[in-house]
Chains A and B, each alone.
Chain A
Amino acid sequence: MIFNSIAFIIFFVIVASLNYILPAALRWIWILAASIFFYMYVAPLYILVPIFIIAVTYFGGIQIEKAASASKRRIFYLTCIILNVGTLVFFKYTNFFTNMLVDFANYIRQNLLHVEASVHNIFLISIFAPLGISYITFQAIGYLIEIKRGNQLAEKNIGYFATYLLYFPKVIAGPVERAHHFLPQFTLQKKLDFAGVSAGLKQILWGLFKKLVIADRLSIYISTVFDNTAMHSGYTLALCAIFYVFQMYADFSGYTDMALGFSKLLGLDLMPNFNRPLAAKSVTEFWRKWHISLSTWFGDYFYNPIAIAKRDWGQWAVIYASFITFIVLGFWHGANWTFIVFGFLQGAILTIEFLTKKIRKNLRKKIPGAVNNTLGVIFTFCYFAFSLIFFRANSVTAALDIIKGICHFKGSLFIPEQYMVLYPLFGIGIMLFVEWMENRSHSAWGYFSHQNIIVRYSAYLAVSILILLLGVFDGGQFIYFQF
Chain B
Amino acid sequence: MRGAESAPGAGADLAFDEAFLRRLERMSLRLGRVSQTVGGRPGSRRVPAADFIDHRPYSPGDDLRHIDWNAAARHDEVFVKVGRVMQSADVQLVLDASLSMAVLPLKWQRARQLAAALGWMSLAHGDRVGLTVFPQHPDDAPAGASRGIGPAREMLRRLARLEPVPSESTALTPVLERSIRGRPGGLVVVISDFWLVDDLDRALALAPLPRWNLLLLQVLDPAELRPELDGAFELIDAESGARRSLNVDAAMRAAYRQALLRRLELLGRVASRHGASHSLLPASWSIEQAIIPYLQRRAILEGRA
Q: Do A and B bind each other?
A: no
| B residues apposed to A, CB below 8 Å | none
